[in-house]
Amino acid sequence: MDVVPAEASQFEPKVEGERLIGRGAYDMKAALAAMMLAMPVPGKEPEGLRVVLGIVSDEESEEDKDRGSDYLVGSGIKGEFAITGEPTDMHVGVAAKGVLAVRLGVAGRAAHGSTPWLGDNAVLRAVDLFRGIESLPFARESSELFDRPSINLGRIWGGDALNKVPDHCVIDVDIRYLPHQDPDEILAAIRGLDPASLETIFALPPIDSGTGNPWVKSLIAVADSHHDGTSVSVGRDGASDAVSFIRVGIPAVEFGPTGMGHHGPEEWVSIPSLNAYLETLREYLGSAAKLADGNSND
């Protein structure tokens, strides 16, 4: 479920001490397993509370249309509050950066590889363009919950022969912008760097649920009892399917177990934190039932 590519060996889980190691262990198969176990036993649900577990397989997809979470929400699976089991180290992620994934084309001038000074290398120009994006004013902004936006050069294609100066290059840039920033203004600033072409691959809005919502406050209170210090997150750099609920006015947060290395070669999740995470979810359902107070809403 929902994992990025990896070496075959990373799909063979192993336990070392208190760590479960493997692709997707931290992001987010372990949280999914805990959520499955936390679901109320049929016929014994807390009074006045309906709990829905939604599982989709395309959260890591680069498509911004026909996503599984959007389909679930559109088909009527809504509610008062939503939790996504993203890896948060037992923090409650009340805010997350928006996503702006762009594909940029850069033009150059071909020449023989033995005389590169007679051409204009599009690959080198593409790298300069990326450095230009990193230097734009929006990239140096911060906010209360975030130190900076995130800008990553994820893919690059350029050149069709070793002995030729490449005359065209394409780069995919993954921009995670702050909740107060305007993606249209960011795109306008990038256009000002004069790329040959600019295409938005996909975009997701930021999350800013805040801590004032009673459902969020209740989760934070329960999580605090299983956490060293406050469980309120300082903001999440990544994005998640929580945006599907945010778009229709449903408060949503990210909350998951402790670990490290998601999308990397040594991804692991803490086994003790999984027990704490499962217990937190179960306790929260009891608190949520009190919040529902007999209300028939989901």
pLDDT tens-digit map of 147-158: 899 999 999 999
Check residue 293 and give its pLDDT.
60
Please give the average per-residue pLDDT across 163-188, as a whole number: 96
Please give the average per-residue pLDDT across 219-247, as a whole number: 77
Please give the average per-residue pLDDT across 155-170, as a whole number: 96
Q: Domains of the chain: which residue ranges?
A: 8-96+206-292, 98-204
pLDDT of 139 above 90: yes
pLDDT bucket at 295, cuts 50 / 70 / 90 = very low
pLDDT of 297 above 50: no
Fill in the amino acid letter for 39: M
Please give the average per-residue pLDDT across 263-271, as a whole number: 91
Check residue 185 and give its pLDDT.
97
pLDDT of 182 above 80: yes
In whole angstroms, give the CA distance from residue 97 to residue 119.
40
Q: Which strand ranges, in their side-by-side order, compose the sheet holding 197-204?
A: 150-158, 168-177, 98-107, 197-204
Please give the average per-residue pLDDT across 81-101, as a whole number: 89
Please give the average per-residue pLDDT across 20-45, as a whole number: 90
pLDDT bucket at 114, cuts 50 / 70 / 90 = very high
pLDDT of 209 above 80: no
The HSE-up count of residue 77 (CA atoms within 13 Å, CB side) is 14
Nearest-10 Cα torsion for 146, 141, 242, 37: -20
pLDDT bucket at 296, cuts 50 / 70 / 90 = very low
- CATH assignment of 98-204? 3.30.70.360
Q: What angle do CA 45, 50, 55 make, to 5 degrees?
A: 105
pLDDT of 170 above 90: yes
> Among 120-134, 170-184, 236-250, 276-290, which stretch is predicted with the lowest mean pLDDT?
236-250
For domain 8-96+206-292, the question of CATH label 3.40.50.300 is answered with no
Please give the average per-residue pLDDT across 133-156, as a whole number: 94
In whole angstroms, give the CA distance from residue 42 to residue 94.
30
- Contact yes or no for 244/5 (Cβ under 8 A): no
> Among 8-22, 108-122, 160-174, 221-235, which stretch is predicted with the lowest mean pLDDT?
221-235
pLDDT of 41 above 60: yes
Of 198 and 45, the one with more pLDDT: 198
pLDDT bucket at 237, cuts 50 / 70 / 90 = low
